[in-house]
Structure 1
Amino acid sequence: MDATNVLDAGVCVVTSISLDHTAVLGDTVQEIAAEKAGIIKSGATVIVAPQPPEALSEILIACEEKEAAPILIGRDISWEKTGSSSDGQRFTVKGLIGEYDLQIPLLGSYQLENAASAVGALESLRSQGIEVPASAMEIGFGKVSWPCRMEILSRFPLLVADGAHNVYSIESLLRSLPEYLVYDRLILVLGFSKDKNVEGMAKALGEKADRIYATASRHPRSLTPAEVYGLFEGKSEKVLEVATPAEALKLALDGAKNEDLVLATGSLFLSAEVRESALGIEPEIYPELPTSGLSA
C-alpha cells in the first residue's frame, strides 16, 4: 500500500511504526508493519528505526523472505544527544562506517532517531556507488527544515506548531516539550481529523493542558469545534469552543503570559493553518475531497 513501492530502491528505511491510518493499513501494529514492509525490495539494505517488538518481527520476516540486509538503529547504529537548546540539538551518531558529530535545528528525541536512520541510509548508499562525505552530512543536517514538527513560530509567549495526529506522536510530543522548552502553563489550540483515535489523544492532552481552545481546520475531514469540545467531558471549565484556528490562536495568545507555551496540535491541517496565521502565509484552500480513509 505504501506509495514508495513505485521506486526500485537498493536502500530502504522503515521509520518507527505506530497505530495510524488503521482504516487502510490494519488494526494492529503488526498488521501495519506487514503493510509497511512492502517497501523492502529483494537484496536491499533496510534501515530499521526503533520499533515495537511485534512490528520488528514482521519487518525481519520480510527481510528474510527477500534476502534483504536489516540494519537496526540502536543495535548496529547508535546515537547520543550531546546538547540542546530551543534552537536545536547536537548529537553524535556511531554508524557502520564512521562516527559523526552533527547538529540539527529540530527539537524532539524522535528527531535523533530519524537522523540516525538517515545516517544509516547515507552510509548504505556506498554499496550503490554513491558516497556522501561527512562534511556534506554536517551541512545537510544543519540546514534541514521540517515545518510543524515542534516548530517554534514565535516567542514570549512561546508559540509551537506540531502536527502530531495519533496517540503515539502526541505522547512523544508531550514527553519532549519539557525536555527542550521552559514554560509555565500549556495552552492548546486543538483540532482533530475524523478517522483518528481522537479519544486517546484527547485523554493524553487533557491531562497536561491548562487551557484548550477547541477548533477545526478548513479541511473537509476535520472534526467540528463542537465535536472536539465534546471530547473533554468533565474538563469543560478549561475548554473553549472556537470557530476557526485563526480566532483560537488570537484568543490563546491574548490569554497567555510570556512564560506560557501555546501549542497548536492534533492535526497537520490544524497546525499548518495556525502556522499560516502566525507567519502571514497565504492560506491553502482544500478542495472537497472524497473519503479515502487517510488524513493527518
Structure 2
Amino acid sequence: MEYSEACLILQQLPFRDVKPGLERISHLLSGVGDPQRSIPVIHIAGTNGKGSIAAMLAMILQCAGYRVGLYTSPELVDIRERIQVDSEWISKEDLATCMAELAPIITAAEEKPTIFEALTAMSFLYFSRRRVEIIVLEVGLGGRFDATNIAAPLLTILTNTERDHLEILGGSVEAIAWEQAGIAACGVPFLIGDLSPQIEEIVSRECSRVGALLTPTIDVIAERKEFDWRRAVYNLGWKDFHRLVDIPLLGGYQQKNLRIVGKSIEILREQGLLLPDSAILRGLSSVHWPGRFEVVHHSPYIVIDGAHNVAGAQALAVDVLRYSEHFLHGKQRYLIFGVLNDKEVEEMCRVLFPLFNKVILTVPQSERAAPLDRLIAAAISLTVPYTATDSVAAALHLGTNLLTTENLLVVGGSLTTVGEARRLYVT
C-alpha cells in the first residue's frame, strides 16, 4: 500500500458522528493481535495541557534510556506528528504498512471506525512493531469512551476540567469531569491537577468506584524564577528532587503542567522506573511542543498559541500581558484570530480582543471554522479596531506588514489556525 492510499482510507472514515463506545477500537485491535496489551501506558486526559505534559514526560523517559511511544492529537502540520517513537514521526512507509494491516478489518466492519479510532489502532500496532517500552498516550476527547481508553495504564492523569466540547460531552463541566474520570483504573494512581472542589468530588467518587488511587499534586513546587522570549527557569521540587530547571516552553500555564510532571516522575520512580535527575533536567531542557506560546520570529515578535477554548484564551491573555509588561514597554500588539464555530466564540473574543491595538479576523481551513461575520460582529460589539480576510496566509501578510521592531503579533484561536501559520513561518 502507498502512503497516498493509506491517507485516502483515513479521509473516508467518519470524523466523529458515531455512537460513543469502545467496540470499534476493540474490534480493530483484536484483528491485529491486541498490541495494546503488551506495553505499559501513561494515560493523560484533561481539557488543556495534555500535549505539553505528554511531551515533557516522553522526553524525560527518552533521556532516561527508554524507548518511548508518544501519541497525541490533533496534528499541527502533518498527520504523522501524532505517532512518534523517540521524538521521530512515523514514516510514510510505516504508516502505509500499518494501514495495510488494518484496512481489511475496516472494510469488513459493520460499523466503520472514526479517523481517530483508526489512528489510535495504528499507533498501538506501530508501537508494538517498534518494541517501545512505554507509551505516553493523550486522550482525544473526554476519556471514558475515547479510543485511547483501551490500554492497561500504569499511571492516569487528569490535567484540568474546563468548558469545551459541551455539545459532545454532556453540556456541563460536571458531565465533562465524569467523562474524563472514565480513564481511572483499579489499583492505578489517578493524578489530578488543579480542580475545583465540585469537580474533584466527581472524580473522587469515580476513583472510589473503580478502586483507583486518587493522587493530588499539592506537595510539588513549581515556581517560575526567570523568563524571556526563548526559555523559562523554574524552581521545581518534590520529595526527592529539588532543582532549578530550564525549559523552552514559555507559557505561564506550564507552571501547573510542571507540577503534574513532577508528581508523575515521583510516582513512576516509586513504581520502579529508573529516572535519574540528569534525565529530568535534560528532558525538560530539550522538550519541544510547538504551537503553545511558541515564538516563531524575534524582533518583531511573532507568537503562535493554540488557545482554542475560553480557558486557553484566558491563559494566553495572561501571557500577553506579562510579556508586554516585561519586554514591550508600550509597543503595539496585534492579533490574528481564527476559531472553530462550535467553540464559545464570543467569550473568547471578549477575553482576547481588548488586549490588542488591532485584530485581524480570519477563517482557518476547516469545515468547522467560524464565519467572518460572526467574528466581525464580536469585534464591533467590543469596539475593537479590526480587519478581516478569508485566509490565514492573507492574515499573516496583513499582520506582518503592521509590525516594526519590538512589536508583537499573536496568532491564535484554534490549533488549525496555528497549524497553518506554523507551516508558513517555520516550514
| Structure 1: distance between partners of 2:154 and 2:270 | 9
2:385 maps to which of 234, 238, 258: 238
Alignment counterpart, residue 125 of structure 1, candidates 268, 285, 293: 268
* 1:26 equivalent in structure 2: 170
Counterpart-to-counterpart distance in 2, 1:167 and 1:263: 16
Partner of 1:85 in structure 2?
Answer: 228
Question: Where do residues 99-114 of structure 1 align in structure 2 (5 Å cutoff)?
Answer: 99-114=242-257
Alignment identity in percent? 27
Q: Secondary structure at the match of 1:108?
A: coil
Shift in Å, 1:10: 2.0
1:22, CA displacement in angstroms? 0.9
Tell me the distance in 2 between the aligned counterparts of 1:126 and 1:37: 24
Q: 2:311 aligns with which of 168, 171, 193?
A: 168
Larger Cα Rg: Structure 1 or Structure 2? 2
Q: What count of residue pairs does the alignment treat as equivalent?
A: 279
- 2:320 paired residue among 177, 183, 187: 177
Determine if the alignment matches structure 1 residue 43 to structure 2 residue 187. Answer: yes
What's the TM-score once normalised by structure 2's chain length? Answer: 0.62
With over 3 angstroms needed to count, the CA separation of the structure-2 counterparts of 1:3 and 1:119, relative to structure 1, is: farther
User: Once structures 1 and 2 are overlaid, which stretch shifts more, 255-264 or 218-227?
Assistant: 218-227
- The answer to whether structure 1 residue 149 and structure 2 residue 292 are counterparts is yes
Please give the alpha-carbon distance, in whole angstroms, between the structure 2 residues aligned to 1:265 and 1:99: 35
Aligned mates of 1:34, 1:229 — CA distance in 2: 36
> Would the alpha carbon gap of residues 30 and 10 (structure 1) be closer, same or farther in structure 2, given more than 3 Å must change?
same
* Structure 1 residues 235 and 70, CA gap change in structure 2 (3 angstroms): closer
Task: Say if 2:291 and 2:419, in contact at 8 Å, map to a contact too.
Answer: yes
How far apart, in 2, do the equivalents of 1:136 and 1:253 lie? 39
Aligned-pair distance for 1:35? 0.6
Aligned with 1:224 (options 367, 371, 390)? 371
Gaps of 5+ in 2: 1-144
Runs of 4 or more, structure 1, over 6 Å off, are none
For the aligned residue pairs, the C-alpha RMSD in angstroms reads: 1.7
1:107-157 alpha-carbon deviations (Å, 9 max, x no partner): 122112112211211221134331211110111111111111000010221
Contact 2:359 2:384 in 1 (8 A): no
| Match in the other structure for 2:132 | none
Letter in 1 for 2:188: A
Q: 99-108 or 11-20: which moved more?
A: 99-108
Aligned-residue offset at 1:271: 1.1
Instruction: Tell me if 1:196 matches 2:343.
Output: yes
> Shift in Å at residue 236 of structure 1?
6.0
Instruction: Check whether the contact 1:226–1:241 (CA below 8 A) recurs between aligned residues.
Output: no
Unaligned runs of 5+ in 1: 282-296
Give the superposition deviation at 1:219.
Answer: 1.6
